[in-house]
Structure 1
Amino acid sequence: MGFLVWLFYVLLSVAPSLRGCMGDGYGVPIRLNDDVLGLIVFKSDLRDPSSHLSSWNEDDDSPCSWKYIQCNPVSGRVSEISLDGLGLTGRIGRGLEKLRHLKVLSLSRNNFSGSISPQLALTSALVSLNLSRNSLSGRIPVSLVNMSTIRVLDLSENSFSGAVPDNLFQNCLSLRQLSLAGNMLEGSIPSTLPRCSLLNSLNLSKNRFSGTLDFTSGIWTLKRLRVLDLSKNALSGPVPNGIAAIHYLKEFLLSGNHFSGPLPVDTGLCPHLYRLDFGDNRFTGALPDSLQRLNSLIFFRVSNNMLTGDFPSWIGNMSSLEYLDFSRNSLAGNLPSSMGELKSLKYLSLSHNKLGGNIPMSLVYCTGLSVIHLGGNSFDGRIPESFFDLGLEEIDFSGNKLMGSIPRGSSRIYESLHKLDMSRNNLTGSIPAEMGLFSNLRYLNLSWNNLKSRVPPELGFFPNLTILDLRNSALYGSIPGEICDSGSLGILQLDGNALMGSIPEEIGNCTSIYLLSLSHNDLNGSIPKSISNLNKLKILQLEFNELSGEIPQELGRLQNLLAVNISYNRLEGRLPVGGIFPNLDQSSLQGNLGICSPLLKGPCKLNVPKPLVLNPNAFDNPMGDHKQRNRSSKSKEIGRHNFLSVSAIVAISAAILITFGVIVIALLNVSARRRLIFVDNALESLCSSSSRSGSAPTGKLVLFDSRSSPDLIGNPEPLLNKASEIGGGMFGTVYKVPLGTQGRMVAIKKLVTSNIIRYPEDFDREVRVLGKAEHPNLIKLKGYYWAPQTQLLVSEFAPNGSLQSKLHERLPSVPPLSWAERFKILLGTAKGLAHLHHSFRPPIIHYNIKPSNILLDENHNPKISDFGLARLLTELEKHIISNRFQSALGYVAPELACQSLRVNEKCDIYGFGVMILEVVTGKRPVEYGEDNVVILSDHMRFSLEQGNALDCVDPSMSEYPEDEVLPVLKLALVCTSQIPSSRPSMEEVVHILQLIKTPAPQRTGLYY
């Protein structure tokens, strides 16, 4: 194979000059089968792990017997190659150019990667090319195929990027099918595309195309179209009338763009339409009446727009509908009885509109219905019982004004129903015991009703139930022990009812549960020890009950527990020593009788056993009766004295211990203060004493970029000058000092002495690792000073201060940061963190990302400081636990709420996401008002959902590009996801930020 590959490239380079030499001198012309040569060269660029191409042998005279190859029976030349789904990897090389008679080339569902060479030009005989579902990247080369002869071109589901060349469709008269879907193409849709007048399928979906479309003289002129899919791009502007010109159109998909204005009124004049999707845009106005003519329509979606007007009464005319989604608009009125004419309907979603009235009984004639979502409207009246005779899989009637009782249902729905949500209505009556027969039910939500019912034990019979939500439904009675019999329950919420009695011991059978909420009831008794069996439990809410006794110490073994609230009960005694319990705040404990915690001001009640008193009468006594009686009476008196003595001893001992503890702590505090003063004085006197007496000092200064001996003795006196102090934090105080004879400024951090590595060789090793972390967006560590009582880090000085000072401490005379400067700071910080996370094994984790640790050089380039300092700690987890909330309030990832830390890169990403919000809004991550506390990430998430995110942008920025700011805000909310695995990596964050900051003509929307 190697010789043929070499020969191919030689022939490719010398072909013009070779023609005159063939046969000369020898009289025998060189005869090669081009098809064999081309295919062998093509194969040489591939990896074939399953040996699918083992029959391709370079010694064969013809490839027509090879697998996956078809030849023309007349000419004997290769006409078709089909290698779909063979698991091939590698690149598409130029060997295919030799196949001059190839008509069909299909390489889909493999893992071809890299860019396609711009020199690759496939034969003009090719009529069908399918490279879909690979990993090809780069730009689409214009010379790849002859557009004047190609009929089918499918490049979908790859990673092609950049703009599509406008001249690609300069001459495309033969093109019938074109799919570029699922790539990263951007810019405007080529204006030459309408020249493909025979095109019948056009799919440009799931790219980043932007700008407005010339429908009238562009798309609408492609009169042979059957499929038009432009969904999931960033296209904008109105969609004018004219679609009726495409008479045979069957699929018209525009979802997931920024189209606005009314829907084209002549859409209904395309009688062959069977799939219509206008969802996730900004369309306004009413639904055009012409739509009622679409008798062949199967799929109809207009959800997530701003449509208004009454719900169409003509909907029943669409007799072929199987999928209907009008959710999240502002449609009003009642549902017409003609809904019952939709006999083929399987999916119905009208949620979050302004619909009212009764749910029409005629819907029960839609016998094929499996999903019905009517939540978030104003429907009233009773739920038609006949609904529960259908084979429904999902029912969502939440957030309405429905009354009456819950229908009991029949055997058909018992087997089919997966989800039932009737929350936030006015339902009354008992929860039907028959619900225990719903064998496939996974989600049950009856919360916020007025059921006034007991919790039926049959609810524990659900074999697949994952979520059970019965909050605020006026439930009474006890919690049945059978509620966890299925073992599949993940969320159990019974709070806000009138439940009484004790928490059943059987609660320990809920081994899959991760959220247990029983708060705001009248539960009494003790907390069962069996809760310690719930190893997956993350949230436990028992507040506002009448629970008593001590909290079982076994609960400290729950290492996955992230949040606990036991406030306002009658609990007492010590908290469990393990898990999250030592770190609970006051709000989670207050309002109890006597929980022992330094956060609470009330009494601490311990269940201490009484002292053991020995009875002297219990022993045999050889003395006589008279002596025995005297001794008996004396022994009672002695026993009383002994009892009082022991009690007094216990009390006195406790008092002595407490007093001794207070004295020891006070002495330690005094000692610590004296030690700090001693260290300061020692450093101040170090140089003076050494210079006066000539004695060798004990510390050493090591500069990584110095050729001098690492045992240089530094002069630390300037470090302790208060005038040179410029900041401080969790790890120590920072000073700005000149270094060396030239007076070059450096920053020197005097580390806190507690918990820092005490051995110089260990300290040297860890600091040198940090010194190797060099990157334009990291503060360079230049060296260190080590002495037994003092450790200093020497690093470069950033003259423009910190991001914190630019955002929150700016003087009125100093101009605010522009959007360009803010974006540069965010992108640079992301690059620095990506370097720490992905260039070191194990990765270097910062632990404390916030604006005060982002410094700015003279050009406002960001430089991350204090990275990796946790490597210098002897007890990392203890230090982070005790300092994280005080030092970085609002930046702490939620998973750090538990003591069993699993700190990784995702914690830094959470802090970076909060920092993005702070940079864009100019607000602190946590702000305190008169009556409330505002968490910035929660506030921004709500604002984005309401469409008001831009109202939160820092008003000091007079100008900013909305199409950059919005994607950046959305990226921040992804980074601050409560679930660590949902956060992107820092490499992905850098990539996304770079995509956002593309040139204006090529900029696309970014969605999260």
Structure 2
Amino acid sequence: MLKMERPLFLLLLLLALVTGCCLGSLTPSLNDDVLGLIVFKSDLQDPKGKLASWNQDDYSPCGWVGVKCSPRSNRVTELSLDGFSLSGRIGRGLLQLQFLRKLTLSRNNLTGSFTPQLLARLQNLTTLDLSGNALSGAIPDEFFAQCGSLRAISLAGNKFSGKIPASLSSCGTLVSVNFGSNRLSGSLPSGIWGLKGLWSLDLSDNLLEGGIPPGIEALNSLRAVNLSKNQFTGEIPGGIGKCLLLRTVDFSRNSLSGYLPATMRNLRLCYSLSVSSNSLTGEVPSWIGELKRMESLDLSGNKLSGHVPASVGNLEMLKVLNFSGNRLTGGLPDSMSSCGSLSTLDFSHNSLSGGLPAWIFGSGSEKLLHSSAAPKLEYLDLSDNEFSGDIASTIDYQSKLLVLNLSGNSLTGPIPGAIGELKELEVLDLCTNKLNGSIPMKIGGATSLNVLKLDSNFLSGQIPSSIGDCSSLTTLILSGNILSGPIPSSLGKLTSIQNVDLSLNTLSGTLPKQLANLPNIATFNISHNRLQGELPSGGFFNTISPSSVSGNPSLCGAVVNRTCHTVLPKPIVLNPNATSDESADGSIPQNSLGHKRIILSISALVAIGAAALIVVGVIAVTVLNLRVQATSRSATALTAFSAGGDDDSFSRSHTTDPKSGKLVMFSGDPDFFSAGTHALLNKDCELGRGGFGAVYRTVLRDGNPVAIKKLTVSSLVKSQDDFEREVKKLGKIHHENLVQLDGYYWTTSLQLLIYEFVSGGSLYKHLHDGGNLLSWNERLNLILGTAKGLAHLHQSSIIHYNIKSSNVLIDGDTGEPKVGDFGLARLLPMLDRYVLSSKIQSALGYMAPEFACRTVKITEKCDVYGFGVLILEIVTGRKPVEYMEDDVVVLCDMVRGALEEGKVEECIDEKLQGAFPADEAIPVMKLGLICTSQVPSNRPDMGEVVNILELIRCPSEGQQD
């Protein structure tokens, strides 16, 4: 066919596909596959150019990427586009591939719903794999009406909803069905057991409910069945024991009840069985030991009782055994020492008792200790039981251990030094026992440790310096013991450490300065010890929570609100017999009578004190005179400003006369200020005061109110030219969620900023001072509007520096938030960040930790931190820092702790009385915690924050095709 004819032919094919016509009379069949694939490609986006070789000018597609053809007919038999990053919809072009046998489009981003005609038109199809996409909608019942010779189908990992079509049972040739990880609901169609040739069935992670219908015994070819993560109820059908070829069974995370059916003892080929997280009762059956091929056995999270049967020891191929979260009693049978392949053993959260099993810790007979058949575990969790006795000193027998958790028992005696021989150990948790003695120095030999938890024991002695050799350590919890002595400076070497808790001990001495250099600290608790001296400066110590250092009466510093007494200088001494020259060795010579140094006389000290008082008095008088002169100049300027349009001070032109001022309005007539400006001298019109000055309300001649900020930082303000340049930049910022700057007034002694007046008051008033009760929708709108305002500032390269609820005003008419006081730091000269923080970050709790570090650049991420605190304040109704009678509550710490305990909903403002959607409130609080990350790079940009908030408020908008 000539090239000029191909576009016309393609158009005819598209028309045929839409109308359902046959093109056999219009085109040679050899080209059907080419044109069908080209039409299929036209419905897709191919960002990585994977389909670049697909060219409509080719007469055969057999050389195209992902395409395979029959060597005899040269027709397409396989289309495999697995993981090509394609997006778009599955178009009708595929219907043209009449000889297609295998279609694999898995792990792409395909969207849309099903094409019901797909199987009906592709009757030769044997394999269909659409898994790992974003396909949605119901699976049409007619989809399986004519499934031809289909043997394997996978729709897993999509968003399909509705019921499983009953017509599926008509596909008698099916060998594998995988509908896992969708949103399918309803009951399991009983006809599914009619697929007698089925080898594998996976319906996991859906919303299926009701009982598992009887009849599974008909699937005598079944090798694998997975019904986990659904809502099935009732009992496990006894017929499952007749599926003698079963290798894997997973009924976990449902609501199944009753006993394990005895017929399951016939599953002699089964190597993986999981019925965890159900409500099964009764004892662990002894016949479990008959499943000799078992490698993974998980009965956790049920209500099983009684003893662990000794027959478990018959499972010599067992690798993973999990009986946690049941009601088992007694000890672990010694017969389990025969499970030589066992690598994971979890019996946590039961009521097991007695001593720790000898066959695990090598403390029994020599036969057990040296037996090659005894298991060498990697994961051992016996926590939250009733085990007692000592931890054997031969613990190093388990040299492959990665995780050892013996917490929540009644273990006694010391921690064996052999722990340090476990070179691969990553987690050691011995907390909440009755262990005594000291922490062994050899523990530093466990160099792979990530987590070390020894809290709530009776450990004494000092913290060994060798812990500093555990360079991978991220969590160190030693609280609730009787540890004494100093905190070793070697902890400063743990550069990966994130969480440290040394509270509730008797530690003493000063804090090592090296700790301030730890870069990744998230929590550091040294409360309720006997530490003394000044808290180190720098690093996380500049932002540490007061509650984390409380209970140390001799600690001093700003955080504990206790002044550190400086070392007094030695008293001044004079030697009346000393000459003016020193000896050659630098010492002061004495005469032969050996006169001693004497302390300065009392009369001399009195004279020095009197002189000092005179100097202080002179300085005080001078300062008072300067203040009186400054006040006089300000009053003169205010009078000039209030004089109205008759005064030259309202001129828009530059003036060099220091006694006159300059008023500039970015819009409107400056003469409007001739009425009502006396309010600047009237305390009754004052709206509030902040770090930069006081704000007053006044009314223009036309009756419109404005807000005027009288700056009280005149000595810090830049020159007039710099001041005006920066103010004009701020005046050009326009956004519905920002308070508009309308103008300014300048003299050398008085600077005023003129803003629009926002009538609804501050967010702080509504949250904390008895303002109107804010509903959840109002709070979410305030958070989103504030985020939009800050995002606009950052787009204009302006950092706010001073985010807090008192700087967010609410429009009385629309309820929209308006962010004020932005960019005022630009009016000041380049200040040291400590001066700046004390001047404008007046509200405790909003300041980002990098303000305290000279080496970290101040960026927009400081605003993101303050905004994160503001989010938590709005949602909880609590202030960023609250002082209780015996404690200080830091809002970020409180919410983060509640989140870790799964109690975050309890933090939401009780004034809402439960009238809030948890699926909005909890993600918003999590976003607030992310914004308050200690590491600036971990905080999102405000633009990203806006997108996340909009997605939380309207999640459906983020799911559009």
- The equivalent of 2:425 in structure 1 is 441
- For residue 699 of structure 1, what is the aligned residue in structure 2? 662
Compared with structure 1, are the counterparts of its residues 914 and 482 closer, same or farther at alpha carbon in structure 2 (3 Å cutoff)? closer
With over 3 angstroms needed to count, the CA separation of the structure-2 counterparts of 1:122 and 1:787, relative to structure 1, is: farther
Which of 399, 402, 411 lines up with 2:384 in the alignment?
399
TM-score by length of 1: 0.73
Judge conservation of contact 2:396–2:418 (CA < 8 Å) in 1. no
SS at match of 2:216: helix
Matched, 1:787 2:785: no
Deviations 1:230-270 (A, max 9, x none): 5556x37545544737735555545556x375565558457
* Structure 1: distance between partners of 2:958 and 2:523: 43
Pick aligned residue for 1:758 from 709, 713, 718: 718
What amino acid is the match of 2:744? Y
Please give the alpha-carbon distance, in whole angstroms, between the structure 2 residues aligned to 1:808 and 1:985: 28
- Report the secondary structure of 1:213's partner residue: strand
Q: Give the counterpart of 2:131 among 144, 153, 156.
A: 156
The one-letter code sitting in structure 1 at the alignment partner of 2:426 is: R
The DSSP-based 3-state class of the residue aligned with 1:436 is helix
Counterpart in 2 of 1:570?
none
Where 1:111 maps in the other structure, the secondary structure is coil
Partner of 2:316: 343
Superposition RMSD on alpha carbons, in Å? 5.5
Using the TM superposition, name which of 930-939 and 469-478 deviates more: 930-939
The answer to whether the Cα contact below 8 Å between 2:844 and 2:881 also exists between their aligned partners in 1 is no
Q: Which residue of 2 aligns with 1:687?
A: 642
Q: 1:466 to 1:699 in 2, by over 3 A?
A: same
Distance 1:256 1:955, change over 3 A: farther
Q: What does 1:196-235 correspond to in 2, within 5 Å?
A: 197=171, 201-206=176-181, 209=183, 212-216=185-189, 226-232=199-205, 235=207
Q: What is the rounded CA distance, in whole Å, between the counterparts of 2:921 and 2:46 in structure 1?
A: 43
Q: Report the alpha carbon displacement of residue 104 of structure 1 after superposing the two structures with TM.
A: 2.0
Deviation at 1:165, TM superposition (A): 7.0
Instruction: Tell me the secondary structure at the aligned position of residue 348 of structure 1.
Output: strand
How far off is 1:405 after superposition? 1.3
Counterpart of 2:132, as a letter, is E
| Cα shift readout 1:159-194 (whole Å, capped 9, x = no counterpart) | x366457578375624554444445x3754576775
Deviation at 1:383, TM superposition (A): 0.5
Shift of 1:358: 2.3
Letter matched to residue 444 of structure 1 = L
Work out the CA distance in 2 between the residues paired with 1:905 and 1:255. Answer: 46
Provide the residue aligned with 1:244 in structure 2.
Answer: 216
Tell me whether 1:431 sits opposite 2:415 in the alignment. yes
Secondary structure of the corresponding residue to residue 115 of structure 2: coil
Aligned residue for 2:354? 381
Inter-CA distance 544–381: structure 2 relative to 1 (3 Å threshold): same
C-alpha displacement of 1:887: 1.8
Q: Which residue of 1 aligns with 2:655?
A: none
Question: Which residues of 2 match residues 198-347 of structure 1 at below 5 A?
Answer: 201-206=176-181, 209=183, 212-216=185-189, 226-232=199-205, 235=207, 238-239=210-211, 241-242=213-214, 244=216, 247=219, 250-253=223-226, 255=228, 259=231, 261-262=233-234, 265=237, 268=240, 271=243, 273-277=246-250, 279=252, 283=255, 285-286=257-258, 288-289=260-261, 292-293=264-265, 295-301=268-274, 303=276, 315-316=288-289, 318-327=291-300, 331-347=304-320
Counterpart of 1:112, as a letter, is L
1:691 aligns to what SS in structure 2? coil
| Pairwise CA distance, 1:53 | 8.2
Query: Residues 332 and 273 (structure 1 numbering): CA distance in 2 closer, same or farther, change over 3 Å?
Result: same
TM-superposed CA distance for 1:449, in Å, is 3.3
1:824–1:610 distance in 2 versus 1, CA, 3 Å: closer
- Per the alignment, residue 365 of structure 1 pairs with 338
Which aligned pairs between 1:484-883 and structure 2 lie closer than 5 A? 484-485=468-469, 487-499=471-483, 510=494, 512-513=496-497, 556=537, 559=538, 561-563=539-541, 580=542, 588=549, 591=552, 604-606=565-567, 608=569, 616=578, 632-633=592-593, 636=595, 640=597, 643-644=599-600, 679=634, 682-683=637-638, 685-688=640-643, 691=646, 696=651, 698-703=661-666, 706=667, 717=678, 725-726=686-687, 733-734=694-695, 741=702, 743-744=703-704, 749-750=709-710, 753=713, 758-759=718-719, 762-763=722-723, 778-779=737-738, 781-788=740-747, 789=749, 799-808=759-768, 817-829=774-786, 840=795, 848=803, 850=805, 853=808, 855-856=810-811, 858-866=813-821, 874-875=830-831, 877-878=833-834, 881-882=837-838
Amino acid at match of 1:156: S
State the alpha-carbon separation in 1 of the partners of residues 613 and 259 from structure 2: 78
Q: Could you tell me whether the CA contact under 8 Å between 1:123 and 1:145 is conserved in 2? A: no
Q: Letter of the aligned partner of 2:79 in structure 1?
A: L
In 1, the alpha carbon distance for the partners of 2:385 and 2:821 equals 53
Q: Kindly tell me: are residues 523 and 819 of structure 1, through their superposed partners in 2, closer, same or farther at Cα, counting changes over 3 Å?
A: closer
- Helix, strand or coil at the partner of 1:386: helix
Mapped partners of 1:672, 1:256: distance in 2: 75
Q: Which residue of 1 aligns with 2:368?
A: none
1:323-345 residue CA offsets vs partner (Å, 9 max, x unmatched): 34455555554433333344333
Quote the Cα distance in structure 1 between the aligned partners of 2:645 and 2:620: 36
Partner secondary structure for residue 713 of structure 2: coil
For 1:457, the equivalent position in structure 2 comes to: 441
User: Secondary structure in 1 aligned to 2:96?
Assistant: coil
Q: Secondary structure at the match of 2:442?
A: helix
Match of 1:108 in 2: 82
* Inter-partner Cα distance in structure 1 for 2:918 and 2:560: 47
Deviations 1:906-937 (A, max 9, x none): 66566656655555555556666677666666
Equivalent in the alignment of 1:421: 405
- Conservation of the 8 A alpha-carbon contact between 1:469 and 1:493: yes
In 1: Cα distance, 2:260 partner to 2:110 partner: 42
Say which SS state the counterpart of residue 103 (structure 2) adopts: strand
C-alpha contact (below 8 Å) 1:805/1:852 kept by paired residues: no
Letter aligned with residue 779 of structure 1 = L
SS at 1:464 equivalent: coil
Q: Is the 8 A contact 2:179 2:202 kept in 1?
A: yes
Measure the CA separation in 1 of the matches of 2:918 and 2:502. Answer: 45
Residues 47 and 86, structure 2, Cα contact 8 Å, conserved in 1: no
Are residues 823 and 490 of structure 1, via their aligned partners in 2, closer, same or farther at CA, if it must alter by over 3 Å?
closer
Q: Secondary structure at the match of 2:409?
A: coil
CA distance in 1, matches of 2:58, 2:564: 94
* 1:128 alignment partner, one of 95, 98, 102: 102
SS of 1:362 mapped into structure 2: helix
Q: Distance in 2 between matches of 1:106 and 1:130?
A: 5
Gaps of at least 5 residues in structure 2 are 17-26, 363-374, 584-588, 652-659
> Any idea what SS the aligned residue of 1:887 has?
coil
2:620 & 2:258 partners in 1: Cα distance?
74
Q: Map Cα deviations across residues 846-883 of structure 1 (whole Å, 9 max, x no partner).
A: 75254862635634445555555555564484367437
SS at match of 1:562: helix
Q: Which whole-Å CA distance do the structure 2 matches of 1:61 and 1:35 have between them?
A: 9
Report the TM-score when normalising by structure 2: 0.76
Give the % identical residues. Answer: 33
Question: Hey, what's the Cα distance between the residues in 2 that align with 1:970 and 1:596?
Answer: 31
Deviation at 1:30, TM superposition (A): 12
For 2:624 and 2:198, how far apart are their aligned partners in 1? 83
Q: Deviations over 1:212-242 (max 9, x none)?
A: 4233468777776655545556x37545544
In structure 1, the gaps of 5 or more residues are: 19-28, 80-102, 564-579, 622-627
Write the deviation string for residues 306-357 of structure 1: whole angstroms up to 9, x where unpaired: 6666666665455544334455555554433333344333233444554443
Q: State which of 70, 73, 85 in structure 2 corresponds to 1:72.
A: 70
Hey, what does 1:98 align to over in structure 2?
A: none
Q: 1:201 to 1:351 in 2, by over 3 A?
A: same
Amino acid at match of 1:787: W
Size of the aligned set, in residue pairs, is 910
C-alpha distance in 1, partners of 2:642/2:333?
92
